[in-house]
A and B are shown apart, each in its own frame.
Chain A
Amino acid sequence: MATTALGHRAHAAAGHAEPTGIWSWITTVDHKRIGILYGTTAFMFFLMGGIEALLLRIQLGSPDNTFLSPTTYNELFTMHGTTMIFLAIMPISAAFFNFIIPLQIGARDVAFPRLNAFSYWVFLMGGLFLNVSWLFGAAPDTGWFGYANLTSRQYSPGINVDFWLFGLQILGVASLAAAVNFFTTVLNLRAPGMRLMRMPIFTWMSFITQVLLLLAFPVITVALILLMFDRFFGTNFYVPSGGGDPLLWQHLFWIFGHPEVYILILPAFGIISEILPVFSRKPLFGYAAMVFSGIFIAFLGFGVWSHHMFATGMGPIADTYFSLVTMLIAIPTGVKIFNWLGTAWGGSIQYKTPMYFALGFIAMFIIGGLSGVMHASPPADLQQTDTYFVVAHFHYVMFGGSIFGLVAGAYYWWPKMFGRVLNERLGKWHFWLMLIGFNVTFFPMHILGLNGMPRRVYTYPAGLGFETLNLLETIGAFILASSFAVFLYNIYRTWRGPRNAPADPWNGATLEWSIPSPPQEWNFAEVPVVHGRDPLWEAKRERSGPLPEPARVSGEGIHLPNPSYWPLVTALGLTAMMAGVMLIHHLGPWGILAGGAIMLFGIFNWVFEPAG
C-alpha cells in the first residue's frame, strides 16, 4: 500500500507542480479546491446532523423514554434541521457548484475566485459558530423555523436563540456572496458557443438556484434583523404585548423558507438530469421543458409560502389562493419526472452506482411529491400539518430527493474530483442499505402522522399505538446510518487505491469529461468551443470512437489568480463582528468595532492586493 501511495505521489509531482501543504489550502482561490473544502466540511456537518438524528431516534424508539431530557431533545431536533439544511445539503450542493460549474461551461475558474474563498470561510465560520453553542450547553432549541414569539427574550431568555440567529446571519452572507459569484460566472464565463440553451442541465438548475438564493435570503436576513432588534434592543416587532405580531415572522420566514426548499432540491434535479442521459446513453428527454419547468417551479416557489401556515386560519380566500398555486407546482414537477422517465425509456441503461442513486431518487421523489399534493388541500392539511406525515413528506423530498441526488453526484463526479473511481460493489451496498434504511425509517412516519403522532414531541405516552412503528423507524435509522459507514469505507479504500481514473470513465456528454481527472489547476489548457448541447458526445461521434486521453500539460503561459489569505481575514472579522453584536450587553460596542476593523482591514487589503 505504502509504495503505491508513494509512487503515485511521485507521479503527481512529475505531472504538474501544484502547490501543496496546509497553507496552500488556506490561501487557495482555486474553485476545485474550494469545492473540495466545501464538500469535506459539509460532509462532516452531515455526519454530525446524522448522529443528532440517531439520538433523536433512540429517544423515540420507546414510549415515555428518558434517554434524552426534553431540553436536549429540543436542542437536537433544532440543530438536526438547521445543520442538515444550512450546513449539509446547501454546502454539498455548493461543493458541486464550485467544482463542476466552471468545468461544465469551459471556464478556468469562477468570476471572483477570492470572493469564492470568502464564501467558503464564512460558511465554515457560520457552521462553527452554530455548533460552538454545544460547548456552552446552549444549543438553539426553538426549531429550525424559530417561530416567534417563542424566540422572544421573555420565552427564550438564554443565549440559545442568539447562537441560532447570528449563526444564520453569518451563513446568509456566505450564501449571498456565493450566489452573486455563480450567477456572474454562469452568465459571463461560458465558453464560446455555449448559448444559454446549450448549457448543461446541472449548470442550468444551479443557475436557477442562485437566483432563488439572491431573492430569498434578503428576506430571512431582515426577519432575523427584526428578531435581533426584539431580543437585544427592545423593539416589539414580534411581541404581542408591545403591539407586534408573531405571525409576521411566519410570513417572512416562509417567504424565504419555501424558495429555500427549491434551493435544496434544484441542484439534485440537475445532477440526476446529468446522470440519467449518460447512463442511458441517450440525450435528456425534453431539454427545453426541463429548463423551463425549473424556472417555473422557482417562480411559483415565491407564491406559495402560506401553505406552511394553513393552520393559522388565514380565511377562505387566502387558503384558496395558496392551495391552488401549490397544486400548480405539481405540474412542472410532474413534467420533470416524466422527462426523466422519457430519458431512460428506450435507452441502453448501464447500471453503475450513480445510476442506481439517480433511479432511487426518482422512485423516492415521486412519493414525496405525491404526499406534497396531499398537503396542498387545506381541509386535509389541517390534519396532516405538524404531524409525522409532514416529517415523512419532507424527508422523502430532502433525503429521498436531495441526498440521493447529491450522493449520485458524488459517485458520478468522484473520478473527476479525485482521479479515483469509487468502488462499484461497495457503492451498490451503499445504495441498497440506504434505500432500505431510508424507507424503513421514513415510510412508517406517514402512517404515524395520519394516525395522530405530532412532530417535535420529545416523547409520546404508551397506549396511543405509536410504539411499534417508532421502534421500526429507529431500526431503520441505524440501517440508514450503516449505509454511510459503507460509504466512508468506500472513500477510505478508494483513497488508498491508485489514482488512475481516466478523463472520461462514464462516456460523458459534457465538457468536464474532456480534461484530465483530476483537472489541472487551469482546467482547460485551451478554451473549448461549443457547438451543441452534448459537446463531448458530438466530438466522439465525429471521430466514431472514444477521444484520446488528454495529456497533462505544463501550463506555461496560462494566467492564474494569486492565492490570498485576505478572504479568510475578512471572514474572521465578519464573524467577530457578529459575535460582538451577540455580546453587546457584555462587551459594549468594542466587540463590534474590533470585528468591524478586522473586516475592513481584510477588505482593503483584498481590494488593493494584485489579483494576478
Chain B
Amino acid sequence: MSDHAAHAAAAHPDTATGIDSRKLAIWTFIGSECLFFATLISNYLVHKETWLTGPGPFPHEAWTSPAGKVFEPIIEIPLVTLGTALLLFSSLFVVLALANAQRGNRRGLLLWLGCTLLCGLFFVGMQVYEFTHFVHKGLTLKTNLFGGSFFVLTGFHGTHVSIGVLWLFTLWILAWRGKLTADKSLNLEIAALYWHFVDVVWVVIFPVVYLIK
C-alpha cells in the first residue's frame, strides 16, 4: 500500500493494470476488429454458394451455368499460398525488428522492419494482381454474390494490410532518422500487435476462401 501511495504522489502514476494504456487500447481495438472480420467472414460463408452466373467459388473445378456457359476455376492457389507464407514470415520479421529496437540495434531494426515491409507490399501487390485477374476472367463485385462477398472480405483485409504497411513505413522512416530509440520501442510494439492481428485474420480467411470447398 505504501508503495502505491508513493507512486500516487509521483507525476506519472503507474497504470492500475500495469499495462501501458496504448498497448491496452490496441488490444481493445483488436478485440473490436475481431467482430468486424467475423461478420465479414460470416457474410462470405452465407453467400459463397449463392451465385447465378459467372465464375464460382470452387477453386479446383469448372462449372456450367444454367444458361450453358462453362466457367473455368479462377483461383490461383500457388500464388496466394506464397503471399500467405510471406505474410506469416513478416510476423516473424516484425518480432525480430522489435527485439532489435528494444536492444537499441538500429541496423537490425532497419533490416527486419524493411523485410516486414517488403512482405506486406508483396501481399498487397499479390492482391491487386488477383483482383485484376478476376475482373479479366469475368468476376466483378456485381457478377454474383460470391464475387461481392469475396471482394468485400479480402478487400477490407487488404485495406488493413495497406494501413499496416503505411504505419510500419512511418516507423521505418523514424528508425532511419534514429528517432525510434530503445525507450520508444513501444511505438513499434503497438504497430506489431496490429500487424500480427492482420496476419491472424488472414490465417482464418485463407482456408475459408481458398482451401475449403
Residues of A within 8 A of B (CB): 111-112, 176, 179-181, 183-184, 187-194, 214-219, 221-223, 225-226, 229, 233-237, 242-245, 248, 252, 526-529, 557-559, 604
Contacts and interface: CB of A to CB of B under 8 A. Distances in A.
Given A233-B141, A235-B148, A243 B11 contact: no
Given A112-B21, A180-B32, A215-B35, 9 more contacts: A111-B21, A192-B13, A219-B39, A242-B144, A242-B145, A252-B39, A526-B8, A527-B9, A604-B170
Contact of A184 (B28, B40, B43, B156): B28
Contacts of B7: 192
B47 interface: yes
A189 B17 CA distance: 9
A253 B35 CA distance: 14
- Nearest first, the 10 A-B pairs at minimum CB distance are A235-B148, A192-B4, A218-B36, A188-B15, A234-B142, A218-B35, A222-B39, A190-B16, A527-B8, A214-B32
12 contacts: A184-B25, A187-B17, A188-B19, A188-B21, A189-B15, A192-B4, A218-B39, A219-B39, A237-B149, A526-B9, A527-B9, A528-B8
Contact of B152 (A187, A218, A225, A604): A225
B152 A229 contact: yes
A188 B22 CA distance: 10
Most buried by B among A191, A218, A528: A218
A170 B70 CA distance: 43
B176 interface: no
B129 interface: no
A193 B7 CA distance: 12
A236 B148 contact: yes
Contact of A219 (B8, B13, B35): B35
B51 interface: yes
A262 to B, nearest CB: 16
Contacts, number: 124
Most buried by A among B1, B36, B39, B152: B39
B62 to A, nearest CB: 20
A243 B46 contact: no
A527 B4 CA distance: 11
Given A193-B4, A218-B39, A235-B145, A243 B32 contact: no
Given A219-B39, A252-B39, A559 B11 contact: yes
Nearest to B145: A243
B28 A191 contact: no
A237 B47 CA distance: 8
Interface in B3-48: 4-5, 7-9, 11-13, 15-17, 19, 21, 24-25, 28-29, 31-33, 35-36, 39-40, 43, 46-47
Most buried by A among B35, B50, B51, B149: B35
Contacts of A252: 39
B128 interface: no
Most buried by A among B13, B16, B29, B152: B16
Given A111-B25, A192-B13, A243 B50 contact: yes
A184 B39 CA distance: 24
B5 A187 contact: no
Nearest to A527: B8
B141 A179 contact: no
Interface in B136-153: 141-142, 144-145, 148-149, 152
Nearest to A524: B8
B52 interface: yes
Nearest to A235: B148
Contacts of A242: 52, 144-145
Interface residues of B, number: 40
Interface in B35-91: 35-36, 39-40, 43, 46-47, 50-52
Contacts of A235: 141-142, 145, 148, 152
Contact of B43 (A222, A243, A528): A222
A339 B25 CA distance: 34
A184 B24 contact: yes
Contacts of B47: 237, 243-244
Contacts of A234: 141-142
A107 to B, nearest CB: 9
A225 to B, nearest CB: 7
A111 B27 CA distance: 14
A603 B156 CA distance: 20
Most buried by A among B11, B32, B52: B32
Contact of A243 (B28, B31, B141, B144): B144
Contacts of A192: 1, 4-5, 7-8, 13, 16
A226 B4 CA distance: 50
Contacts of B148: 229, 235-237
A526 B7 CA distance: 11
B145 A180 contact: no
Contacts of A176: 32
B32 A217 contact: yes
A189 B19 CA distance: 11
B24 to A, nearest CB: 5
A91 B12 CA distance: 30
Interface string B163-192: 000000010000000000000000000000
A218 B9 contact: no
A233 B147 CA distance: 12
Nearest to B153: A222
A223 B8 CA distance: 45
Nearest to B144: A243
Contacts of B15: 187-189
B16 A187 contact: yes
B13 A237 contact: no
B193 to A, nearest CB: 14
Given A233-B141, A237-B43, A180 B28 contact: yes
B32 A193 contact: no
A299 to B, nearest CB: 15
A187 B24 contact: yes
B163 to A, nearest CB: 10
A193 B142 CA distance: 58
Contact of A215 (B17, B32, B46): B32
Nearest to B147: A235
Contacts of B32: 176, 179-180, 214-215, 217-218
B206 to A, nearest CB: 20
A576 to B, nearest CB: 18
Contacts of A604: 170
A235 B29 CA distance: 29
A237 B145 contact: yes
B45 to A, nearest CB: 12
B1 A188 contact: no
A189 B145 CA distance: 47
B145 A236 contact: yes
Contacts of B11: 557-559
